[in-house]
């Protein structure tokens, strides 16, 4: 299967289920690709001269293996998160996340891709009041912490995607997916919480590139709808339909490697059926619109080192009362150390800034922070 067809179909299915996996077909050995990194993000929230620091140390890991024509992807993470107010006690939440196992099988002369997956409940559940408060703050869309929810129940997923060439250098794809969520203890000593199942539809187009390299320009759209969440058979919460648009561009071959990605995520209103849904509402991201832009560029300074810059910009708006609205931005250097043909080491750092609205006219929370990450990538082993 060509890299373009794999990318188009895999992006549709994986994008539907929100699992960040990079598949690199064509590897010479059983292990196609693996990656892991240590990632640290911290924010200081300054409101009326009272400061609160929110931090997360996260270590994700991903591996892709080839079994005949199929590919199997394993992904997990662990994290330690803290909320440290200037006055009062510190709160923390630490532990592993769930382990996800994904399978991808190409059919029909590589034009159809079938997906099946399971997310095993290996992460932290049954949170106490302090841990729930940490999770609530981690879920803030402007702060952009990568691990917002440590653990859930046993989740099962399936999907199907079709990719076809439209013209020389242009490929299109459509896909659909379904995810069933198992029950789990969200709150310590509380009743089991069962998230509603999800149905997703997507479409994407790739422009340019070759059969063996990513397309310079791609456009994608994903729509998700959710069934009602339940506690002991009682409907308590329904998340609004979500629509995601993403556009990205990258340079072709040459010394300069540059990329630009823009994403808009909009969601219809959530519905609370009983007072028991209030805890869930505060734990999950409320309805609103998130805009995100990430730009990067680097150049080779030797045969084994590339140096460059990255920048990010985000804006969230439309939350009820504006209490979660705000913006954040950051920029900093990136360095890639090439460790032979099959491995590379990447380090990045960003200084972050921004502000949050409080829901009170004229009042804002000032944001300042840092993002540091060091990771290793392996391919074609």
Q: Which domains does the chain have, with CATH numbers?
A: 3-379 (2.40.160)
pLDDT at 110 over 60: yes
Instruction: Find tokens 């009682």 and name the residue.
Output: 234
Q: What is the pLDDT of residue 134?
A: 94
Q: What is the pLDDT of residue 189?
A: 87
pLDDT at 31 over 70: no
Handedness of CA 120, 122, 123, 128 (dihedral sign): positive
pLDDT at 249 over 90: yes
pLDDT band at 18 (very low <50, low <70, confident <90, very high): very low
**Largest distance between two CA atoms of the chain:** 63
Q: What is the pLDDT of residue 254?
A: 63
The proportion of the chain whose per-residue pLDDT surpasses 90, expressed as a percent, equals 63
Per-residue DSSP letters for 125-176? -SB-HHHHHHHHHHT-TTT--S------S-EEEEEEEEEEEEETTEEEEEEE
pLDDT in tens, 74-101: 999 999 999 999 888 899 999 999 999 9
pLDDT in tens, 301-344: 999 999 999 999 999 998 776 678 999 999 999 999 999 888 99
Give the span between the Cα atoms of 62 and 206, in whole angstroms: 25
pLDDT in tens, 134-181: 999 999 999 999 999 999 999 999 999 999 888 888 889 999 999 999
Q: What is the pLDDT of residue 105?
A: 95
The DSSP secondary-structure symbol of 239 reads P
Nearest to 200 by CA among 6, 11, 5: 11
Beta strands in 193-342 (DSSP E): 193-194, 198-207, 217-226, 229-231, 234-238, 242-250, 257-267, 271-272, 289-302, 305-317, 326-338
Q: What is the pTM of this model?
A: 0.84
For 321, phi and psi rounded to 5 degrees? Answer: 80, -5
For the sheet containing 271-272, what is the strand order?
193-194, 229-231, 234-238, 271-272
Q: What is the pLDDT of residue 100?
A: 97
Are 372 and 351 within 8 A, CB to CB? no
Q: What is the pLDDT of residue 96?
A: 95
How distant, in Å, are the alpha carbons of 3, 185, 317 from that of 96?
32, 16, 31
pLDDT in tens, 41-57: 999 999 877 899 999 99
pLDDT at 6 over 60: no
Give the span between the Cα atoms of 350 and 326, in whole angstroms: 19
Helices (H), 62-169: 129-138
Q: What is the pLDDT of residue 204?
A: 95
Tell me if residue 195 falls in helix, strand or coil. coil
Give the span between the Cα atoms of 204 and 52, in whole angstroms: 41
């Amino acid at each position: 299967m060509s890299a373009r067809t794999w990318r188009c179909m895999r992006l549709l299915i994986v994008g539907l289920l929100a699992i960040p996996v990079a598949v690199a077909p064509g590897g010479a050995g059983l292990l196609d690709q693996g990656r892991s990194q240590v990632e640290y993000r911290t924010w200081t929230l300054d409101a009326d001269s009272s400061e609160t620091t929110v931090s997360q140390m996260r270590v994700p890991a991903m591996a892709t293996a080839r079994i005949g024509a199929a590919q199997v992807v394993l992904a997990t993470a662990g994290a330690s998160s803290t909320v440290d107010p200037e006055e009062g006690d510190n709160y923390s939440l630490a532990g592993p996340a769930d382990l996800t196992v994904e399978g991808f099988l190409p059919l029909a002369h590589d034009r159809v891709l079938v997906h099946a997956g399971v997310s095993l409940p290996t992460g932290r559940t049954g949170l106490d009041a302090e841990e729930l408060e940490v999770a609530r703050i981690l879920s803030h869309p402007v702060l952009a912490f990568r691990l917002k929810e440590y653990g859930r129940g046993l989740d099962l997923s399936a999907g199907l995607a079709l990719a076809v060439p439209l013209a020389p250098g242009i490929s299109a794809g459509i896909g659909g997916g379904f995810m069933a969520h198992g029950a789990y203890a969200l709150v310590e000593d509380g009743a089991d919480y069962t998230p509603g199942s999800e149905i997703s539809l997507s479409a994407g187009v790739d422009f340019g590139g070759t059969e063996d390299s990513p397309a310079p320009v791609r456009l994608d759209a994903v729509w998700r709808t959710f069934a009602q969440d339940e506690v002991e058979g009682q409907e308590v919460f329904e998340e609004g339909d979500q629509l995601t648009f993403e556009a990205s561009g990258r340079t072709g071959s040459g010394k300069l490697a540059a990329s630009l990605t823009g994403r808009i995520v909009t969601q219809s209103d959530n519905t609370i059926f009983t007072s028991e849904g209030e805890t869930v509402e505060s734990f999950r991201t409320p309805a609103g619109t998130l805009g995100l832009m990430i730009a990067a560029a680097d150049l080779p300074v030797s045969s084994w080192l590339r140096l460059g810059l990255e920048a990010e910009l985000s804006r969230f708006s439309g939350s009820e009362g504006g209490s979660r609205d705000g913006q954040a931005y950051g920029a900093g250097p990136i360095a890639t150390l090439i460790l032979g043909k099959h491995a590379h080491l990447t380090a990045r750092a960003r200084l972050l800034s921004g502000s949050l609205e409080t829901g009170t006219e004229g009042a804002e929370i000032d944001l300042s922070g840092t993002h540091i990450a060091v990771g290793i990538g392996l391919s074609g082993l």
